Amino acid sequence: MVIKYDADIDSVAIQANIKRLIPNREEGENWQKPLATIIEELAGMDRLLYETHETLFCLMSKLEGLYTLTGEDDFFEYRRTIFDCLNLISELKKQCQD
């Protein structure tokens, strides 16, 4: 896939990068710092991958919304949002195939 700056990036590399971009709160680790990094990387992808703007915006919006789901009673909403994000990532992967 040719992206901004006329760089030809293998779609497998893009898909591998997208796949790792989901924070894991379930393990009791700090999930907010990795989430900030994920959002930053997706913002960078948005600047590089012109064809994926709509999906990336929706994904970034959902990830940003995770910051509001910090209570224990919010966990199931957090988890549902993560699954929504995984579906969007699958959609992104399809969009980034050669």
Residue type (1 letter), 63: L
What's the pLDDT tens digit per position in 34-66?
Answer: 888 888 888 888 888 778 888 888 888 998 999
Number of domains in the chain: 1
Q: Report pLDDT for 65.
A: 93
d(CA 82, CA 60): 11
Q: What angle do CA 74, 76, 79 make, to 5 degrees?
A: 110
d(CA 5, CA 82): 32
Q: What global pTM score does this model have?
A: 0.71
Residue type (1 letter), 40: E
Residue range 1-27: mean pLDDT, rounded = 64
Residue range 57-85: mean pLDDT, rounded = 89
Provide the residue range defining the domain that includes 59. 2-95
